[in-house]
Amino acid sequence: MKPRLHIGRWIVVAFVCVWSLFPIYWALNTSLMSTPTAQSVPARFLPIPFTFSSYRQIFSGGGDNAIWPSFSKALANTTLECAAATLLTVVVAVLGAYAFARLKFRFKNAILFVVIATLSLPAYATLIPLYRMMANWHLVNTYTGIVLVYVSGFLPLALWILYNYFSTIPVELDEAAFMDGASPLKTMVHIMLPLSSPGLASAAIITFLSAWGQFLFPLVLASNSSTQPFTVFMTSLESRHTIPYPLMNAVGVLSIVIPALIVVFLNRFIIRGLIAGSSK
């Protein structure tokens, strides 16, 4: 049974790897083809003939069909929106998580349950109400509107991660700080946050990655290129009569470089933050 179980595990791992990595390989494969080759039937699993024409088109700065100005603008928009949403989400989540983990007030558990329960709601169910709110506040096609929508969606998960992490820190540390005259805010800043750096990193990384991959919300809230992120910019490459598959896939491949580097080098913080409190 043990050899069979071992083989079964490797089959599952191989399936998950293929399921997860094949779309990335196919995007890279298509980005290295010419448009006629990418549209040929049957599909080719190797980029033969091999060409960097799509990447040269992206990074060329001149000409009527230059992609670089729009590409660089989309990159700046994505980075700014994700960074701002991450910073604001983590700051608010820290304050909320500390309050739920350490302070005593009426209906604390009920409020926490309601906040966490919002994770079970389909995000797209809030699309129309959020759009109407942003339109009434004149925040459509603005960085502020997109960032606020991101924060509203990612805050419950960040709060839950940090609440679990704060709950693992002994209360005696807080009590010792209070005896020395420290306020709750000073205790949180000087004791809780340094001890919770893995949880903070996990919440920040997950929020940033989630914001980076958003499509439908920025598609609705950013109807012009001034605030459009990568995901929406890619759809603008499609013309009325043709779909430049190699070019769109080249943009997609470049857009995953930053998230891929974050996951590869900082994945240990994600894991530590997600399992915090499981062994308490």
Q: Is the Cβ–Cβ distance between 178 and 103 less than 8 Å? A: no
In a domain, 33, yes or no: no
Range among 88-92, 200-204, 227-231 rated most confident: 88-92
Whether residue 13 is predicted with pLDDT greater than 60 in this model: the reply is yes
Range of the domain at 264: 67-274
Q: Is the Cβ–Cβ distance between 200 and 193 less than 8 Å? A: yes
Tens of pLDDT, residues 222-265: 888 889 998 999 888 887 677 888 999 999 999 999 999 988 88
In a domain, 39, yes or no: no
Rounded to whole angstroms, the Cα distance separating 200 from 264 reads: 18
In a domain, 10, yes or no: no
In a domain, 27, yes or no: no
Whether residue 277 is predicted with pLDDT greater than 80 in this model: the reply is no
Number of domains in the chain: 1
In a domain, 13, yes or no: no
DSSP H helices, the chain, are 2-31, 35-38, 53-59, 68-102, 108-117, 127-136, 143-167, 171-179, 184-187, 193-195, 197-212, 216-221, 230-235, 245-255, 257-274
Tens of pLDDT, residues 137-152: 999 999 999 999 999 9
Whole-prediction pTM: 0.89
CATH number at residue 208: 1.10.3720.10
In a domain, 7, yes or no: no
- Residue 130 CB: number of other CB atoms within 10 A? 18
Q: Is the Cβ–Cβ distance between 246 and 263 less than 8 Å? A: no
In a domain, 122, yes or no: yes
In a domain, 43, yes or no: no
